[in-house]
Amino acid sequence: MLPKVFIAKPIPQTVRDYLGKFCEFAMWDKERPINRQELIEQISDREGLLTTSLITRIDEDLLLKAPNLRIVSNISVGYDNFDLEAMRKRQVLGTNTPDVLSDTVADLAIGLMLCSARRIVELNGFVKEGKWNAQISEELFGLDLHHQTLGIIGMGSIGLELARRARNGFKMDVLYHNRNRKIVAEEELGVRYCDLPTLLAKSDFVILLTPLTKDTKHLMGYKEFNLMKHSAFFLNISRGETVDEQALILALREEKIQGAALDVFSQEPINKNNPLLQFQNVITVPHIGSATLACRTEMAMLAAKNLAAGLMDIQPPNLVKELY
Which residues are identified as catalytic? 239, 268, 287
Beta strands in 17-172 (DSSP E): 24-27, 48-51, 71-74, 93-95, 149-153
Taking CB under 6 A as the criterion, which residues in 187-216 touch ligand GLV?
209-211
Cβ distance to ligand GLV smaller for residue 213 or 281: 213
Considering only CA atoms, give the Rg of the chain: 21
Residue nearest to ligand GLV (CB): 156
- How far is the CA of 309 from the CAs of 92, 237, 302, 323, in angstroms? 14, 30, 11, 16
* x/- letters, 91..130, toward ligand GLV (CB under 6 A): ----------x-----------------------------
**Buried b / exposed e along 163-196 (16+ C-beta atoms within 10 A):** bbbbbeebebbbbbbbeeebeebbeebebbbeee
> Site size for ligand GLV, by CB under 6 A?
15
Choosing from 148, 290, 306, 318, the residue that interacts with ligand GLV (CB under 6 A) is: 290
Report 22-41 residues binding ligand GLV (CB under 6 A).
none
Footprint on residues 139-168 left by ligand GLV (CB under 6 A): 154, 156-159
- Judged by CB, which is closer to ligand GLV: 203, or 290? 290
| Cα distances (angstroms) measured from residue 286 to each of 11, 32, 177, 290 | 19, 16, 26, 11
Q: How many angstroms separate the CA atoms of 268 and 262, rounded? A: 12
Residue number with CB closer to ligand GLV (289 or 310): 289
- Min CB(283)–ligand GLV separation in Å: 17
Among 3, 289, 310, 316, indicate the residue that binds ligand GLV (CB under 6 A): 289
Strands lying side by side in the sheet with 4-7: 24-27, 4-7, 48-51, 71-74, 93-95
Q: Which is nearer to ligand GLV, 52 or 258 (CB)?
A: 52
Q: Which residues contact 4 (CB under 8 A, 6 or more apart)?
A: 23, 24, 25, 26, 45, 46, 47, 48, 68
Least distance in angstroms from the C-beta of 9 to ligand GLV: 13
Write the binding mask 40 to 79 for ligand GLV: x where contact by CB under 6 A, - elsewhere: -------------x----------------------xxx-
Nearer to ligand GLV, 8 or 252 (CB): 8
Nearest approach in angstroms of CB 68 to ligand GLV is 26
- Asked whether 167 and 189 are in contact (CB, 8 A), the reply is yes
| 310 phi-psi bin (left φ>0, alpha ψ -120 to 50, beta other) | alpha
Which residues sit at the interface with ligand GLV, rule CB under 6 A? 53, 76-78, 101, 154, 156-159, 209-211, 289-290
